[in-house]
Chain A
Amino acid sequence: MSVLVYIDQSEGVIKKPVYEALYYGSLLAEQLNTTANALILGEVKEDLSALGKYGIQKVYQVNHTSLSTFDSQVYAKAIADIANESNSSIIIFSHNQSGKTLAGRVAIRLQAGLVTGTIALPDTSNGFIVKKPVYGGDAFAYINITTDKKVITLNPKSISVVTKDNVAEVIPSTIEVALPKVKVMATNKTSSEVSLTEAEVVVSGGKGLKGPEHWGMLEELTKLLGGAIACSRPVADEHWRPHYEHVGQTGIQVAPEVYIAIGISGAIQHVAGINRSKNIIVINKDPEAPFFKVADYGIVGDAFEVVPKLIEEIKKLKSIV
């Protein structure tokens, strides 16, 4: 009846939202008077026993050559098998690309109800009521999962992690792993070092920047802030930037600490993809731009003047700090 958290990794590195999911799992276990365990498919450089500091008791690890390819069919079976073996009734994924791909499959295998993209601990006083944003963040739904087993995915940046002094027990698992049917042919990663969905700072440009040749200053600003770069839909449609940088309702949804929108008017569809950002800063020369209505801070001004000044001021501050 314990809680099981899926540790998502890629190329031997645990993905950032996982730590939050681990801590969330341990809080939920505490709430339900049970234990939180985790599982990882494949090998990572990190010492897995150190994950105890997030409140995790056991880490099940499956090593198999088949797992070097991400095939959701193979992964889901392995996760469900570990869930059954460890008598887990609540499975938690990060609400990122792999979590989104796997959660539905695992829910079916375990005959579990699924709620994706929750942002808080469930209310378990009468049922198992999970809160999640719906309608592109304009509303929240409180959804009761009525099956015995439950699968939830946690939206990144939903809770603050507190660590403690604990060590987890790492248990190698020998469950059977199927052969992948999917063959990966190529991988293209973006130039920015931080991935868009995991970045603390997202710097995003719109049509106001007039052309792809003006993205240099945005790249410089992004680098200075250690963030990731993004763009609005028209920019991706015009092929100024690759569409995997497009944030918005039909693009990637982000929830960074700060979202800086430069030369973006702020159409409803764009805002729906970024409105979970903790702070929204808008730079636009049009004082009537709808984006100012949802912004926390704004500068009415020409991006070609404001952004270089911003870069200069950040450099100045960094040289002092």
Chain B
Amino acid sequence: MKILVCISKTPDTTSKISFKDENTKFEDKGVQWIINPYDEWYALIKAIELKEKDASVVLHLITVGQNDCDPIIRKALALGGEEAIRINAESNDSYYVAAQIAAVAEQGNYDIIFTGKETLDYNGNAVGGMIAEILDLPYIALATKFELNGDKAIIQYEIEGGEEVCEVALPVVVSCQEGMATQRIPNMRGIMAARSKPLKVIDPVDATISTHVNRFEVAETKTGVTLIPADNVAALVQVLHEKIKVI
């Protein structure tokens, strides 16, 4: 059994979001980078749990990015996985990123490819489905539970207004979200071991870059709250009725 987990870096959730170079680039000064939480808490930890159940599982991590991603990849390796692959390229376009990961995945004959459901910066929800389509594999998005049953996977995932459970034969691509696994903190042994784990840096394959960010714009903040006294709840009901018109 071989598992590939896709990892990306993202600014810490409490980072102040601003832009530089005439609003064309993210201002990364003073920003703390973290492993994208969906990739870490749900995709990677789930893969580690599967490896803990079955020691023969081979677990590889992959990222697309420049060498500033290396600390994040090492942090991920501190949690688990035997080796990591970094495709040395910019990761600004989902089509391009998916093509890179699919090229490696195809060579490696992985049984399961896990991604996070989206990254916290671009909120794209795109790469998992794209990898699956390039490799002609089934794709289960927004998974909340994952169990193996021989050469099949039993996967629970979100649908509008609830959840569904399906069975699918491996290999499969799965995008992960809350529910898949419980967050962990790397221990000292893991951190030490991660230093000597292989991190292979490979060149990207030729692929189309299909989108380009022209500029960013910081969202306007709210002007201020209208407070209603707690003993005048009727005033709030008037707002719901007359202004917001939901009653």
Contacts and interface: CB of A to CB of B under 8 A. Distances in A.
Given A250-B37, A297-B239, A143 B213 contact: yes
Contact of A114 (B41, B95, B164, B244): B95
A313 B163 contact: no
A222 B127 CA distance: 36
A309 to B, nearest CB: 4
In this complex, the member of B133, B138, B213 whose beta carbon has the largest number of chain A beta carbons within 10 angstroms is B133
Interface residues of A, number: 103
B142 A97 contact: yes
Interface in B1-46: 11, 13-14, 17, 19, 37-38, 41
Nearest to A112: B210
Contacts of A321: 241, 247
A73 interface: yes
B214 A142 contact: yes
B139 A101 contact: yes
B187 to A, nearest CB: 22
Interface string A170-212: 0000000000011111111110101111101100000000000
Contacts of B216: 134, 139-142
Given A140-B219, A246-B178, A317-B237, A272 B13 contact: yes
A250 B142 CA distance: 11
Interface of A is mostly: mixed
B227 A183 contact: no
Contacts of B62: none
A305 B232 CA distance: 12
B165 A73 contact: no
B83 interface: no
In this complex, the member of A96, A282, A309 whose beta carbon has the largest number of chain B beta carbons within 10 angstroms is A309
B120 A136 contact: yes
A143 B212 CA distance: 5
Contact of B98 (A108, A144, A195): A108
A32 B142 CA distance: 34
A186 B128 CA distance: 23
Contact of B163 (A188, A306, A318): A188
A281 B227 CA distance: 10
A181 B219 contact: no
Nearest to A258: B244
B191 interface: no
A25 interface: no
Given A76-B133, A107-B126, A113 B233 contact: no
Given A113-B95, A258-B246, A108 B133 contact: yes
Contacts of A103: 125-126, 129
B213 A295 contact: no
B230 interface: yes
Contacts of B14: 268
B31 to A, nearest CB: 11
Contacts of A194: 161
Given A100-B141, A143-B213, A243-B178, A198 B163 contact: no
A225 B211 CA distance: 42
Interface string B187-228: 000000000000000000000111111111111011001111
B162 A139 contact: no
A63 interface: no
B13 A269 contact: yes
Nearest to B125: A100
A301 B241 CA distance: 21
A201 B240 CA distance: 10
Contacts of A76: 129, 133
A140 B216 CA distance: 6
A97 B121 contact: no
Interface string A17-56: 0000000000000000000000000000000000000000
Interface of B: 11, 13-14, 17, 19, 37-38, 41, 93-95, 98, 120-130, 132-134, 136-142, 144, 154, 158-169, 177-179, 208-219, 221-222, 225-230, 233-234, 236-237, 239-241, 243-244, 246-247
6 contacts: A133-B219, A140-B217, A141-B216, A146-B210, A190-B162, A299-B236
The 9 closest A-B pairs by CB, nearest first: A301-B230, A104-B129, A113-B210, A195-B161, A189-B162, A108-B133, A105-B133, A104-B130, A101-B141
